[in-house]
């Protein structure tokens, strides 16, 4: 293992046998955390070529079981996000897509770095079961058109173990590690077609458009080798997505969208676009027709009804719970919101208990922030910028204020979707 670490540290190409020795040795316990951490850091710093990434992905796929979803009728379409601050898109997209008759069999992960995980968000719903047996998973998809479970059983155990280690060793931001992690899970999970939301900006793993494009092309190439059609949307994460950041708060925002209540423009547009691509792929129909179906099922409430079916099927109970204490953070000047530092807000919510510092940490589902303003909005001195929900820990008000930059000049806003590849 030391020779493998040294080789990658020196920027050399690892053979498939060397990658397999490291990965499977770690899975089986003969290679300790500290050595795997060293190899991961070497990969972060020195990268991998396309063949190494394909080999790593293949080893992860075959480290455990591959799901056979042939018992689910029709085309199975999966959706994934590379993770961003306030990204609760899956919670709104899947019920909407399933209500249009497209089968969604999805496995999701927990938080990674400062980004929240879909499984953590769902576990903020009292009683909600995120660990399904394979037969229950298949039955739920067949009965209601969707199911969402954590990475359970023996599916990609190599990725599951390495993913948890990356989260606590500062090795999350690496195209080879992100691409192999995402695609190993997606291919082993048995989906036919995949839509991937690649986040770009300060609140995402990919900080630049160039890196996001490289990641997208890498994942599309991996998909081709396994005969999987992959579409990647490059989307903005220079500010948090939507208004809410924090597990239960984000679930509530997704519910508001599905109920047809007013939500932020960026969240609304992103959910509609991803849902449209998924229906387009799942039914092999033109984009215009797919968008009509999605909009119709949002307006007539079928998307929300599907969400209720989904929560009920996985033993969750939706009810109004009394809020923990909150405080308002108010603007100290008048002007236009020039920037909201998503990464800083993500770090604060993690510090409050909304994310993990260590693998074994328990999450506080109640904490978080709800923005009152987005980039480009005008704000008056003393007006509320956001509401903060704190529990065991309190954060100095100035740190919240430091997340906002206010300018006297009008601010041009960025598009939520930069580009679609694939």
**Do the strands 146-150 and 104-108 form a parallel or antiparallel pair, or are they unpaired?**
parallel
Could you write out the DSSP letters of every residue in 349-411? HIIIIIS-SSTTPPP-TT-EEEES--TT-EE-TT-EEEEEE-SS----HHHHHTTEEEESS--
The string of DSSP codes covering 108-173 is: E---BTTBPPHHHHHTTSTT------HHHHHHHHHHHSEEEEES-TTBSHHHHHHHHHHHTTT---
d(CA 188, CA 65): 7
Which residue is listed with tokens 């580009």? 419
CA distances from 353 to 115, 359, 360, 389 (A): 13, 13, 13, 11
DSSP category for residue 54: H
Name the token pair of 127. Answer: 């009683």
Q: How many CB atoms lie within 10 A of CB 153?
A: 18
Sequence-distant (6+) residues with CB within 8 A of 399 are 344, 348
In contact, 280 and 106? CB cutoff 8 Å: no
Catalytic residues: 80, 159, 166, 181, 185
CB atoms within 10 A of CB 181: 25
């Amino acid at each position: 293992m030391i020779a493998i670490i040294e080789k990658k540290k020196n920027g050399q190409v690892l053979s498939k046998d060397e990658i397999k020795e490291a990965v499977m040795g770690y899975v089986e316990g003969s290679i300790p955390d500290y050595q795997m951490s060293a190899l991961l850091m070497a990969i972060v710093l020195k990268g991998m070529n396309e063949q190494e990434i394909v080999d790593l992905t293949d080893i992860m796929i075959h480290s455990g079981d591959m799901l056979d979803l042939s018992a689910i009728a029709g085309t199975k379409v999966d959706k994934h996000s590379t993770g961003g601050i306030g990204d609760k898109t899956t919670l709104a997209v899947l019920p909407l897509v399933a209500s249009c008759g497209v089968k969604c069999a999805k496995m999701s992960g927990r938080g990674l770095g400062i980004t929240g995980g879909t499984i953590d968000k769902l576990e903020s719903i009292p009683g909600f079961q995120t660990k399904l047996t394979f037969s229950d998973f298949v039955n739920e998809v067949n009965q209601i058109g969707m199911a969402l479970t954590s990475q359970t059983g023996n599916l990609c155990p190599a990725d599951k173990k390495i993913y948890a280690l990356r989260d606590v060793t500062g090795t999350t931001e690496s195209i080879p590690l992100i691409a192999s992690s995402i695609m190993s899970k997606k291919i082993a999970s048995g989906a036919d077609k995949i839509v991937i939301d690649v986040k770009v900006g300060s609140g995402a793993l990919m900080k630049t458009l160039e890196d996001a494009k490289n990641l997208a092309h890498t994942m599309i190439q991996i998909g081709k080798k396994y005969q999987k059609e992959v579409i990647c949307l490059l989307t903005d994460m220079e500010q948090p997505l939507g208004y809410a950041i924090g597990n239960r708060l984000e679930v509530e925002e997704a519910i508001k969208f599905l109920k047809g209540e007013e939500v932020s423009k960026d969240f609304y547009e992103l959910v509609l676009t991803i849902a449209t691509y998924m229906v387009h792929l799942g039914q092999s129909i033109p984009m215009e027709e797919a968008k009509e179906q999605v909009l119709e099922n949002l307006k007539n409430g079928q998307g929300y009804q599907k969400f209720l079916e989904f929560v009920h099927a996985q033993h969750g109970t939706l009810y109004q719970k009394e809020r923990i204490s909150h405080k308002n953070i108010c603007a100290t000047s008048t002007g236009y919101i020039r920037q909201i530092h998503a990464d800083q807000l993500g770090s604060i919510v993690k510090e409050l208990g909304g994310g993990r510092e260590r693998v074994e940490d328990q999450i506080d589902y109640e904490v978080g922030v709800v923005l009152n303003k987005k980039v480009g909005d005008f704000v008056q001195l003393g007006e509320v910028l956001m509401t903060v929900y704190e529990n065991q820990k309190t954060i100095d008000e100035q740190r919240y204020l430091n997340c906002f930059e206010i300018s006297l000049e009008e601010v041009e806003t960025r598009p939520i979707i930069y580009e679609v590849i694939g």
